C-alpha cells in the first residue's frame, strides 16, 4: 500500500517576540494515521498545531496540509475538523445552532443528531452554550470537529476536563473515525491514552521534537519493572536485586516475561509469598521522565 502524506511540517519555527516557542520542528503524518504530539507544558504543541490549523503563520519553515498552505482556509476547511484548546462558541447560541454554524462555515454536511449522539449531548440540543458545563462544552467542541467526518481531524487536548465515561465515548468515536479512514492528530497530557491509541508519537520539550516513533520504539530503550515485598524471614530473591526499602524490591528488566517466570518459579519452590506483586511494561511516562532529566541537545 502506498502512503500519502497528509501533513508535512518542515523545519517549522514559531517565535513570539524574542521567545522561540517551536524550534526546527519536522514531522509528517500519513493518511489514516493517528499521530499524538505530546510534550511538557509550554513545549510548543499548541503553537505547532495552530500553524497546521492555519490559525497562525510560521515564523520560518513550511507546513503543508493536503499539499497546500493551511492558511489557504477555503481550500482546507472543508477537509479538516479542528478542536481548539479553548472553545470559542457564542454563549447565546444553542448547542444545535453551534453545530449548524460550524457546518455552514466549513461547508461540511452531516446531521446534528449524529454528532451530538456521539458525545451524549442529544438531551442538550436546545440548551444555550452559556448553560453548558465545562465538560459539556468540550464535548460540543469535539462534536463540531467531527461534523461531516472530515478527512483530517486536529484535536488539542480533547479529553481534558472530561469524566471517564465521556473520555471512553470520545475515544470510541475517534477509533470509529479512524476505521472510516480519517487521519487524526492530537495532543494530550493523558499519556496512557496516547500509549493505547496512537500509531506514532512525537515528544516535544522546550520547542524541540526530542523523540518520535511508535510506542514500542520509544519504550524499548528503557527497562520494565517488577515490584514485590517479602516477609522478614523470607530468603533473598533469585535475581540481583537489593530491597529499595525494608523488604520491598524493585527489579528493572529488559526481559520481563523470563524474569517474572524465574521469580514465580523461585517463589513456588521456596513457598515464599510475593506480597503486592506487580509487573509493569515500560510506559510513555517513563520515556517522558527520562527525557526531562537528560541534557538538552546542543
Ligand atoms: N501568544 C503568545 N505570546 C507569547 N508567548 C506565547 C504565546 N503563545 C504561547 N506562548 C508561549 O510559547 C510557549 C509554547 O506554548 P504552547 O501553548 O505552544 O505550548 P504547549 O506545548 O501547547 O503547552 P501546554 O501543554 O501547557 O498547553 C509557552 O512558553 C507559552 O508561554
- pLDDT tens per residue across span 107-128: 999 999 999 999 999 999 999 9
pLDDT for residue 2 = 66
Percent of the chain scored above 70 by pLDDT? 98
Percent of the chain scored above 90 by pLDDT? 86
Place 148 in a pLDDT band, splitting at 50, 70 and 90: very high
Please, what is the average pLDDT of the chain?
93
Distance CA(259)–CA(281), nearest Å, equals: 13
- Closest Cα to atom 30 of ligand 1: 42
Spell 108-125 as b/e; 16+ CB within 10 A means b: bebebeebbebbebeebe
Contact 156, 186 (CB under 8 A): yes
User: Is any atom of ligand 1 closer than 6 Å to the C-beta of 269?
Assistant: no
By most ligand atoms within 8 Å of CB, the mutation choice from 37, 44, 208 for ligand 1 is: 44
Question: Which pTM was predicted?
Answer: 0.90
User: Is any atom of ligand 1 closer than 6 Å to the C-beta of 22?
Assistant: no
- Closest Cα to atom 7 of ligand 1: 16
Which of 81-85, 183-187, 246-250 comes out lowest in average pLDDT? 246-250
User: Is any atom of ligand 1 closer than 6 Å to the C-beta of 19?
Assistant: yes
Distance CA(119)–CA(159), nearest Å, equals: 12
pLDDT for residue 173 = 94
Query: At 279, is the secondary structure helix, strand, or coil?
Result: strand
Question: Mean pLDDT throughout 130-148?
Answer: 95
User: Is any atom of ligand 1 closer than 6 Å to the C-beta of 86?
Assistant: no
Distance CA(233)–CA(247), nearest Å, equals: 10
Strand-strand pairing, 80-83 and 152-156: parallel
CA of 93 to the centre of ligand 1 (A): 29
Amino acid at each position: 500500500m502506498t502512503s500519502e502524506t497528509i501533513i508535512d511540517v518542515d523545519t517549522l519555527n514559531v517565535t513570539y517576540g524574542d521567545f522561540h516557542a517551536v524550534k526546527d520542528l519536522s514531522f509528517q503524518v500519513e493518511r489514516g494515521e493517528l499521530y499524538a504530539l505530546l510534550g511538557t507544558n509550554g513545549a510548543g504543541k499548541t503553537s505547532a498545531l495552530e500553524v497546521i490549523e492555519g490559525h497562525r503563520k510560521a515564523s520560518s519553515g513550511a507546513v503543508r496540509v493536503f499539499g497546500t498552505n493551511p492558511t489557504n482556509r477555503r481550500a482546507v476547511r472543508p477537509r479538516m475538523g479542528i478542536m481548539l484548546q479553548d472553545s470559542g462558541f457564542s454563549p447565546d447560541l444553542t448547542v444545535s445552532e453551534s453545530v449548524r454554524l460550524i457546518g455552514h462555515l466549513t461547508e461540511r454536511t452531516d446531521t446534528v443528531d449524529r454528532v451530538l449522539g456521539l458525545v451524549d449531548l442529544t438531551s442538550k440540543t436546545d440548551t444555550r452554550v452559556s448553560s453548558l458545563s465545562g465538560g459539556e462544552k468540550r464535548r460540543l467542541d469535539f462534536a463540531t470537529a467531527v461534523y461531516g467526518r472530515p478527512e483530517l481531524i486536529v484535536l488539542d487536548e480533547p479529553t481534558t476536563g472530561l469524566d471517564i465515561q465521556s473520555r471512553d465515548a470520545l475515544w470510541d468515536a475517534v477509533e470509529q473515525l479512524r476505521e472510516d479512514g480519517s487521519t487524526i492528530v492530537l495532543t494530550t497530557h493523558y499519556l496512557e491514552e496516547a500509549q493505547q491509541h496512537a500509531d506514532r508519537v512525537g515528544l516535544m520539550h522546550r520547542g524541540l521534537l526530542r523523540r518520535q516513533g511508535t510506542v514500542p520504539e520509544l519504550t524499548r530503550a528503557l527497562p520494565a519493572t517488577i515490584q514485590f515485598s517479602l516477609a522478614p524471614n523470607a530468603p533473598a530473591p533469585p535475581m540481583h536485586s537489593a530491597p529499595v526499602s525494608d523488604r520491598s524490591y524493585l527489579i528493572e528488566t529488559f526481559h520481563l516475561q523470563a524474569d517474572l517466570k524465574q521469580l514465580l518459579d523461585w517463589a513456588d519452590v521456596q513457598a515464599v509469598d510475593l506480597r503486592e506483586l506487580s509487573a509493569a511494561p515500560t510506559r510513555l511516562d517513563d520515556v517522558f521522565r527520562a527525557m526531562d532529566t537528560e541534557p538538552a541537545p546542543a
